[in-house]
Structure 1
């Protein structure tokens, strides 16, 4: 099965979050077909998390949903997360960035194990 385009995935994920009452915005638009997707979760208590694409070795290729994420930073300062995002942008300027504001840290991502 072909992988869902990044623009469709981001749009669907934002809609899902909105339906569940989780405040989220698309902060950066990347390459429509295959841009990497990163998700920043601001916990509104002075800490933030950052999630990014899981390495291919952790993704089950037999799965219908092959978009899996890993925690890149957990309970870091929002400023430190922004520094990391800047580094990712210098490496890949076609990335997508979703920002979520949620005290409980909800993101609704499929995490690789």
Structure 2
């Protein structure tokens, strides 16, 4: 099964967010072909959620929340920095949306 290039997937996510009147930014560009993507959703100055990709038993991508409860933004940012330091191919996308929408089309496991 061929997978969509990361750069196209990120561009589509940003378009979905912007069409929903949210702001979306590429904070860090990764590998254009196969880089993994972290999606940070900022709802307010104190509320943010990080979505991390994982693969299910069939190899399909789904998303899980970083930490089960709410994580403060400094904790999320520290985790993102660690992941970016470990993986030079990693993308980081930030979405600012007062409603807290993530605009992901793949399944999201809300823990």
TM-score class normalised by the smaller sequence = 0.7 to 0.9
Other structure's SS at 1:75 match? coil
Pick closer, same or farther for the CA change 1:52–1:4 going to 2, 3 Å: same
* CA-atom RMSD in angstroms: 1.7
Quote how far apart the aligned CAs of 1:49 are: 0.6
The equivalent position to 2:65 in structure 1, one of 40, 60, 71, is 71
Other structure's SS at 1:68 match? strand
Q: Which segments of 5 or more consecutive residues in structure 2 lack a partner in the other structure?
A: none
Any conservation in 2 of the 1:23–1:101 contact (CA below 8 Å)? yes
Pick closer, same or farther for the CA change 1:105–1:45 going to 2, 3 Å: same
Other structure's SS at 2:35 match? coil
Other structure's SS at 2:76 match? helix
The residue that corresponds to 1:99 in the other structure is 94
Quote how far apart the aligned CAs of 1:103 are: 2.0
The residue that corresponds to 1:50 in the other structure is 50
The equivalent position to 1:85 in structure 2, one of 80, 86, 92, is 80
The residue that corresponds to 2:107 in the other structure is 111
The residue that corresponds to 1:19 in the other structure is 19
Q: Which segments of 5 or more consecutive residues in structure 1 lack a partner in the other structure?
A: none
Pick closer, same or farther for the CA change 1:23–1:59 going to 2, 3 Å: farther
Pick closer, same or farther for the CA change 1:2–1:97 going to 2, 3 Å: same
Pick closer, same or farther for the CA change 1:59–1:99 going to 2, 3 Å: farther
Other structure's SS at 1:76 match? coil
